[in-house]
Every structure is written in C-alpha cells, then in structure tokens.
Structure 1
Amino acid sequence: MPLGRRNCILLGDVLVIIDGALQASAWSVPQMIVARIICGFGIGFISCSVPTYMAEMSIENKERGPEVAFQCIFLVWGCAFVYWVDFGLTRMDNQLSWRFPIALQCTFALLSAIGMFLLPDTPRWYYAKGRLAEGDDVLARLHDCPIDDVAVQEMKEAILASLKLEEKEENKFNIMDLFWDRSDLRVGRRIRISFMILAMQQMMGINLSVYYSTLIFAQVGLSPFLAQLLAAVMNTLFASGTIPLVFTIERFGRRPILMWSAVGLTICMTIFVSMIGAPNPTLTMQWVAVASVIVYNFIFGYGWIGVCWLYGPEIAPLKFRYVGGASGAFGEWLFSFITVFAGGIALQNVGWKIWLWMLLPCAAAVPFVYFMCPETTGKSLEEIDLVFAKESVKNLALANEIIAHQHGHDEKQEVFHREKV
C-alpha cells in the first residue's frame, strides 16, 4: 500500500464527500450512478484501511480488540441513526426528504478527514517502508516515552525482526498461494481467511435483513407504519449488540465469540424460517418471527461485526496487511452486493424460502471458525506470524527474537502502568 493507511483513509473520505455532493445535487440517473461508483471506491478505501490502522496503532495486545470493537460501534450505530433519520423524513413529500440524508454523509466524512489529517501513519507502515526515523517518532509518541526507552526499543526490535522474517525468500507472497499455499508463513491461507470470514458474514444475511427490514416486517403481516417503526427499532438493537464486545472480546477470545454467536444465529434463523414458512401463521407466530429476527440482529452485532473486521488485519503479515484488509473488504462488499441485489429480487419472488440460503452459512460458520481460525487473543501482531507459520519457522532465530522482544515489551509495559498508577 504505497499511500499508507492514513492517506488511504483520507482519499476515501474525499471520495465520499464528492459522492455526497454529486448525489444530493443530482437531477439525472447517470449523475446518481457516477456518484455511487465514486462512493464505492471511497468506502472501499476506508473499510479496508481503518481496521488495519486501528490494529497497528495499538501498543498493547489487550488494547487491539476493544479499540477495533469500539470503532465498529460507530460503524453500526451510523446505520441505526440513518434509519431513524429516514423514518422521520418519510413523513415529508418533497425533495428534501431524500437530498438531506444523502448530503448528511458529507458531514461525517469531513470530520473523519480533518481527524486523519492531524494524525500520523502507523509505525509499522513506516518501518516496512524503511522510514525508521518517522516510525521511531510515532512509536515514542504512542508510548509517551523517549525513543531510547526500553519498552519502545523492545517493540521496535520485534517489528523489525518480523519484517526480516517476512522478507526471507521462502516467505515471499506468490499469487498462487491463494489457491495452494506452501509458503512457510502461510501468507496465502491467511489472506483467504481474511476474505472468507467477511464473505461468510454477508452470506449469513445481515445486510439483507438491514436493507429490507421494512419489507420483511411487511411480509410477516404488519402494517406499513409498524413495519417502518420496527425496522428502526431492530437496527437500533443491532447497533446495541456491538457495545458489549468492547468489554468482552479480550476476556472471551475471538474464536469462542464467533462460534457461539454463530450457534445463536443459527437457532434464531431456524425459528424465524419455521414461523414465516408455516402454512397458516397465527398472530403469535408472526410476533415470534419478529422477535427471533430482532434477537438475530442483536447477536450478529455482538459476534460477527467487530471480530470479523479485526481478525483479517490481525492475521495478515505486516508486508501484506493491506492485502489482508483489502481482501476482507472485497469479500464483505462483493457478497453484500450479491445478497442485497439478489436477495431483494428473491424476497419478492421466492418469499420466505430465501432465508434458507442465509440459514446454511450461519450453521457452516461454526466449523469454519473451529478449523480455520486459530485464536489470536493476547498475541502481538508479530507473534501472530508464528501462529500460522510452519513448525520449522518457529524454531528460527528470528522467530525466537520476535518472541523475546515481545515478552520484554510486555514486561516493561506492566512496570510502566504500575508506576503510573
């Protein structure tokens, strides 16, 4: 990523601002289409760079999960906020009802751009580009210590040792590794997982339920007003589910949260399909269906939003972390498009049976996480390299150097925090 994490986010913000201005002022369909394409590129830059930026700016292993989870709270609460704005503007019958919410996105993109303009790039990106002085400066500022502090030096040496390990000829990435990975650091496998975990997230049906929540409640048998109101309530509870993750992701771990929430999603989706697929649904069955899909959204907000956006950038090697972030975003938006585009048509023509398509990935997510996603909780980004590496690599001097420096950094951080307290 030649532009770096920071500049990619800035570029994404600029493109979203241009998109918002074009759409809000649109008087023709072609102008709307061009604006949407620009927006797609902007969101792509932002979504693949922000989790990577957050993960690489963490100086303590236990901070990384809560920080990315906290960022995802704003991501999902934005959706809930927009639903309430849309719900309020449905009472209007003029052009302001659709131009205002489109223009509103420019405000948040502008705030993001101002904030990112004042921030540096990540120390790991500076080190990967050979810009050691800038990496030292950012690392020292993150630790709030001088560059010659032992904790800062331990972290720097662990990052540089990881870079040396990745630069060895046998560890370099080959495009064929995406299909059959034989590299020592399993780079291809890790990029595949980054793609698959967010692709599976979308195949589980979350964006279908978010985009078409009003239609779903209408098909259950509710009035148009009640369907709109419950859609806003459901998306608010979906956003609420992201909050507990901040406090539990490091306590429970990535794998258990993903697996057990997938079990809960499977149960909720099974109940929902059973209720709406019954030949003669009663009023009670309709409300059970409504309750199950609302609980589904809450569980999804907890288990399959923050963890998925964190896991891909976490497991990708430093040199290819931008590839891991990009492949995850590609999986997210590709299958978001497929499920929303095809799902909307299916809801109109197939009805409730489309939810069987969503039920299967919910169940398949459990074995996928169990067999393909090792635990990363409590490990530094450099140590995660060794989680995926072959046994022969784990015994190399560079690998031992990464572990030694990381453990030294952890001990110094403990002392530093005790002294501050």
Structure 2
Amino acid sequence: MHEKKYLDSLPEEILLYLLSYLKKKDLCNMSLVNWRFNSLCFDGSLWECVSLSPRISDETALKLSKKFQNVKCLELSNAGQILGFIKNCSCITNISLTFCEQLQSSIMQSIVKAWPKLRQMNIEGCKEVCVSTCQHIGSLSYLKSLNMRGCEWVTEESMINMCRKLKDLQSLDVNGIPWLQNNFIEDVFHTHGKSLQYLSIDGSEVTDEPFQRLPMIKMLQQLHISFCENVTDNLLIYISDTASLRNLSLRKGRNFTEIGLNKFLNSLVVKQLVELDLSECVYVTDKTICHLVETNNSTLKRLILKWCWNITEEGLSKIVDKSASLEKLELTGVDQPSGACLVNIPLKMKNLCFLDLACCSGIDDKVIERILLFMPNLIVLDYYGVEFRLENVSRD
C-alpha cells in the first residue's frame, strides 16, 4: 500500500522515465493499474518505436495507427496494414517491412509520398520489389540506410539509377541479389565514396576490379561479401589499405591463396578489426590462424571460421591461447580438431560468451561439459547446433 502511494506521489516526468525501461507488452499490462497509469503508459514518448511483428489484425493495426500518431520507427510484417499509418502518422523516419508479401510498387509510392524524409528503410526479402519500386525509393533524398537483401526482382540498371539519386547513403545491404556486377559496385563507390560506412553484397558476379577504389572510401567501417568466388588475392591487397575498416566478412573465397591470406592477416587493417568472417575460405590453415592471432590479439571480438576444413588442433590451440578478447567464436564444420585445447577456455578466454561447435565431429561433449562447469553462462552449440545444457547431461 505504501509503495502504491509512493508511486502516485512521483511526478509524471520521473514515472515516464521509469516506464521507458519496460517492454511494450509490459506497458500494456501496466496501463490497467489505474486511469493515471493508463494515460502514462500510452504517452507518445514511450511509443516512438512500434513493432507490429508477428502479424496482428488489420483492425488492431488501424487502432494503433490512430493512437500513436507520433511514432517515428515502425516495423510491420504485413505491408497492407501500412495504409493506416500513412494516413495517421506523419513523423515516421524509420520503416521496416521485412519479408512482407504485399509490398507492391503502389504501396511504396504511397510510403514515399507520405514520408519523404525517411532516413532508414528495411525491405529485406520482399519478393514483389521490382524496377518501379526502385524508382520510387530513389526519390527519398534523405535516406541514409537501405536494406534490400534478397530482393531478386530488380535489375542492375534500376539499382544503379536508384543509388545515384540517393546522395547521402551511408549503409547499403544488397546481399542475396546475385546478378549485381562490377558496374554496380563501381557506381556505388563513385556516388557514395564520401559517405558509405556499411556495404553488404553478393559477390557471385563481381571481380577484383571495382575494389581498387576501396582505399578511397574513407568512412567504410563494415564490408561483407558473400560468394567471393571470382575475386583473388588482389582484393585482399585493396582491403589492406582501407584504414577505417572494423568489420570484415569474406565468405567462400576459393581463390584466396594461403600466401595471400597470410600476408593480408599481417596488415595493419587486421590489427584493428572487431569482427572477421572467413567462412568457407579453403586456404585458411593453421599457419593462417597463427598470423591472425599474432596480428590481432586485443581488439577482435567475433571470429567466424565456418567450414574452414584445414584448421587442425594446432590452429584451434593458437586461437584459444592468443585470443583473450574474443566474445564469439563460430567454428561450424571445422571437423579435424579433437578440441582438447578448448578446456583452457575458462583460463584463456574469459570474455567468451558464445561458442559454435556445430558439425565439429572431432569434439566430444565431455569437453563442452568441462568448459561449462567453469563458465556456466557461456552459450555453446553442440554437434547438432543445439545449445548444450549441463542439466541435460546424464550422471549415470
């Protein structure tokens, strides 16, 4: 009773501050306490970001659009429900419509007309995105971040024209669009060389040539290239001179040589990386790992080496001994090591919070069990990709 009186005596500013730490579901529950909390819990300042995913009814979506007219960030799983927000909400600057099945060009036209000052747009996996959709997006002159991952029904020409109009783009994700070629990459670098900070692309049809400009992209902090099947060690040379880079992903680099990788991993840019992904790069070897951990043993937080089959116990031991800063280590499909060195993780890798050992057939569950006895909060995925839990271990 005294606690209730104490809460009632607090000014609204303090109560709103406390309520800002609650999840949206908890806010709805708290609103049932009394009329005052009902008013506070639905204050517009607490609902600037609204996520309506998974799906809700059209009627509920319409009611919410009328209630939260000051919403700035909106996430929907049904593009058809956006019309209510277009009508009632004028402040939206960030829109996420990932994997929506109804994002026709006409809806995008309405979005662009209603919110011309959009700064972030995520339409990943929207299968109905097409050439005309790109034309509409191109008119968003304030747009800084665009995610079109997996939007396969676009052409390279439409993407080039769109990106030319988006003059201040800082983040671009077009991974999963396999027919974007050198012309697109060159044009993006030419148009956004002074602003681009994040780039994620599908490298299936891309060669080394457009990446010669990488060292001139002074703001680039994150570069992710999947299917690096047509690039060579030359790409590694260009990346070595990209001083601002912090996160790097080069997946399936089948033409990278061991010599090229070793030289690259000795470069200054690797020394400052926070995240590195070399999954499916076939010439990542124990020697490669040695170069990596000698160069970067203080800033690297996440290392991903999925399906790097040439790593043995020796290479894994180097990682454990020299990577004290690592928080996440992902080794799916690295099947040669026995994992005996992993028992040193509690002593050597005290910051580790996630360890992926899926499809690591050489590593026995007894090793995982021993690690977790000393690090019970560590999340470890076993051979089957399932989180290993000590309470499920039989003591027979």
The normalised TM-score by structure 2 is 0.22
The normalised TM-score by structure 1 is 0.21
Whose Rg is larger?
Answer: 2
Larger RCO: 1 or 2 (CA < 8 Å, sep 6+): 1
